[in-house]
Amino acid sequence: MRTRLIVASEELATGHLTRRDLMRSYARIHRNVYCRAGEVLTAADRAHAAWLWSGRTATLSGHSAAAMLGARYVPADAPVELARTRRPGAPGIQIHSGKIADDELCEVDSISCTTVARTAYDLGRRLRLESGVIRIDDLLHSTKGDLAEVYSIAARYPGARGIRQLRETLSYVDAGAESPQETRLRLLLVQSGLDRPGTQIPVTDDWGRVVRRIDMGWLEWKVGVEYDGEQHWTDPDIHAGDIERLEFLAARGWLIVRVSARQLRYQRPEIVRRVRQALASRGYPA
């Protein structure tokens, strides 16, 4: 649920608030834009606040557009980014210039945003490889966006700043990733020289119904790799379900390498060694 934001001048003019109310119960975000004191703002809230600051005329872009479009993992402290505004920048707001075609714009709750494809194009040009892949994976997965449309936008602007960075980033993007950690794990495996794994691999029961999905893996060798967050190790119910899941996958011929948050942070070479060993046991060529 989005935090309620107010434009102070409007609330004071209508009499909904007094200046005393404003000073006692509200916190200033930008000039003339406030929220209730103590509210914790999400990336989407901060994007909305910047749009209000612009006089409701700017277009959200980059991280702000991604958050408004529904990307799940945009950090609350991600840059607030606007385009198509003549107002000078303000503290905490980045203003981007550059051409944006009409078909690269959309509206979310009457707020102007760059489309999914244009947003991914901008993120991929501006961010380093891992961050760019994480953000675009999240955006495409959350919105069911089409990677081909991002390539189509890129083809319109062959000389744009950051276009080489974008092309490299897009070569690693996979909308099957369901979390930033899954993206980081997949990048680790691919950049270590392994063939690119499939993502969200369906596994069927005896009646052909899809009853399980594997985070990533190689269907030909029936080796899967799964990222297990902290809850998989600390929640008894989830842990019990994992035991049943692994037994089912083993019965279907799958060998699963499980990776924890700590291992992904501190034991990356060991993860690659374990995956290589699992693949080698199934005949994967060195």
pLDDT tens-digit map of 165-211: 999 999 999 999 999 999 999 999 999 999 999 999 999 998 989 98
Please, what is the angle between helix 129-143 and helix 62-69, to 10°?
A: 30
pLDDT confidence of residue 85: 87
Output the pLDDT for position 74.
Answer: 98
Split at pLDDT 50, 70, 90, the class of 232 is very low
Rounded to 5 degrees, φ, ψ at 167 are -65, -40
Query: At residue 231, does pLDDT exceed 60?
Result: no
Answer whether residue 236 shows pLDDT above 80. no
User: Measuring CA to CA, which residue among 37, 31, 22, 63 is closest to residue 49?
Assistant: 31
Min mean pLDDT across 48-57, 187-196, 217-226, 228-237 is at 228-237
What is the rounded distance in angstroms from the CA atom of residue 17 to the CA atom of residue 126? 41
Comparing 1 with 283, the larger pLDDT belongs to 283
What is the pLDDT averaged over residues 206-231? 91
If you average pLDDT over every residue of the chain, what do you get?
Answer: 94
**pLDDT above 90 (res 243):** no
Tell me if 86 sits within 8 A of 59, measured CB to CB. no
Query: Which residues partner with 258 through β-bridges?
Result: 226
Residue 224: its H or E element? strand 223-228
Q: In the predicted model, what is the mean pLDDT of residues 28-51?
A: 96
For the record, the structure tokens of 229 come out as 């967050």
Query: Would you identify the CATH topology of the domain 180-281?
Result: Endonuclease; Chain A (3.40.960)
Q: How far is CA 210 from the centre of its chain?
A: 26
Query: What mean pLDDT do residues 107-131 have?
Result: 98
Beta bridge partners of 218: 223
C-alpha 140/C-alpha 175 separation (Å) is 5
Distance between CA atoms of 193 and 67, rounded to whole angstroms?
A: 33
Full-model pTM: 0.94
> What are the sequence ranges of the domains in the chain?
41-170, 180-281
Amino acid identity of residue 51, one-letter, is W
Q: What pLDDT does 52 receive?
A: 97
How is residue 112 annotated by DSSP? E
What is residue 104's DSSP assignment? G
Q: Closest Cα partner for 184 from 215, 163, 160?
A: 215
The pLDDT value recorded for residue 1 is 61
Per residue in 74-99, pLDDT (tens digit) is: 999 999 999 998 877 788 999 999 89
Quick one: CA dihedral 68, 73, 78, 79, positive or negative?
negative
- Give 230's pLDDT tier (boundaries 50, 70, 90): low
Name the token pair of 162: 């950051």
